[in-house]
Amino acid sequence: MRDFQPPHDPHTNPPVGPLVDPTPRPLPARVPHKGRSVDLEPLHIRHAPDLWQAAQADLAPESWAYMGYGPFTDEAAMRSFVGNFATAHDPTVWAVRPHRSGTVDGWLSLMEISPANAHIEIGNIWFSPRMQRSRASTEAMYLLMRHAMDDLGYRRLTWKCNALNAPSRSAAARLGFAYEGTLRAVLTIKGRRRDTAWFSILEDEWPARRDAIEAWLDDANWDSNGRPKASLAR
């Protein structure tokens, strides 16, 4: 692989990066987002009972293997975690309510928020089994991606995961994130070494990815059995 050549201002010597809009971007607000198949609600302790029930269908060890928390021993432990998680400012967390189930079946967040650098990350994604690989799960991620890039005007949206987490890496690629590299032994999670794979979408790449995801989510792309007619993969 050839070394990455950063963009630069051709009128400078030595070369420096192009000028960008230095205006700090707004912080994400705790507001709901509504989609065709799913709603996002600012996480609240009232969501804990639904989330505990969702977790009971997700007892496979791989579900929590790459998370920095979980699995939870009982409903009280889940409630305590949700109560603290819901009050954090970074990450800012939303509960995910698919229309099909009507219950809260997961969460996700905007995090590593850097308004001055127009950089933000989508992460802390946990979906119950009935949500995984569904229209609702894709739309939930898309709603926050669109909020970050279109509503708030961030220049760089990132996704990072344990480098061993094959499903997360596949999801990043499917949504159009570009792989940037892997930081080796950068974290210790649950007593284990974590190498972290990084992915990103930049502002000039976003319109094409937004259009592709919207086309995939459009009702015209879904047959009478609830299956997509076309793939989202690039």
Q: What is the pLDDT of residue 2?
A: 60
pLDDT band of residue 1 (cuts 50, 70, 90) is: very low
* 50 assigned to some structural domain: yes
* CATH number of residue 204's parent domain: 3.40.630.30
pLDDT exceeds cutoff 60 at 5: yes
Q: What is the number of other CB atoms lying within 10 angstroms of the CB of residue 162?
A: 20
* 121 assigned to some structural domain: yes
Higher-pLDDT residue of 150, 1: 150
pLDDT band of residue 83 (cuts 50, 70, 90) is: very high
Omega of the bond prior to 15 within 30 degrees of 0, cis? no
Q: Which residue has the tokens 């590593």?
A: 112
* 11 assigned to some structural domain: no
Helix (H, G, I), strand (E, B) or coil at 149: helix
Q: What is the pLDDT of residue 63?
A: 81
* 25 assigned to some structural domain: no
- The token duo for 175 is 């949504």
How many domains are there within the chain? 1
pLDDT tens across 138-174, in order? 999 999 999 999 999 999 999 999 999 999 999 999 9
Domain range for residue 70? Answer: 33-221
pLDDT band of residue 129 (cuts 50, 70, 90) is: confident
DSSP H or E run through 142: helix 135-146
- The token duo for 58 is 């997700």
Least-confidence region, from 127-131, 157-161, 221-225: 127-131
What percent of the chain clears pLDDT 70, i.e. is strictly above it?
97
* 226 assigned to some structural domain: no
- The token duo for 169 is 């890496």
Could you tell me the sign of the dihedral formed by the alpha carbons of 181, 187, 189, 195, in that order?
positive
pLDDT exceeds cutoff 50 at 230: yes
- The residues that bridge with 168 in the sheet, in sequence order, are none
Instruction: For residues 172 and 159, give the distance between their C-alpha atoms in angstroms, rounded to a whole number.
Output: 7
* 9 assigned to some structural domain: no
Q: What is the pLDDT of residue 133?
A: 83
pLDDT tens across 14-53, in order? 999 999 999 999 999 999 999 999 999 999 999 999 999 9
* 8 assigned to some structural domain: no
Instruction: For residues 177 and 159, give the distance between their C-alpha atoms in angstroms, rounded to a whole number.
Output: 7
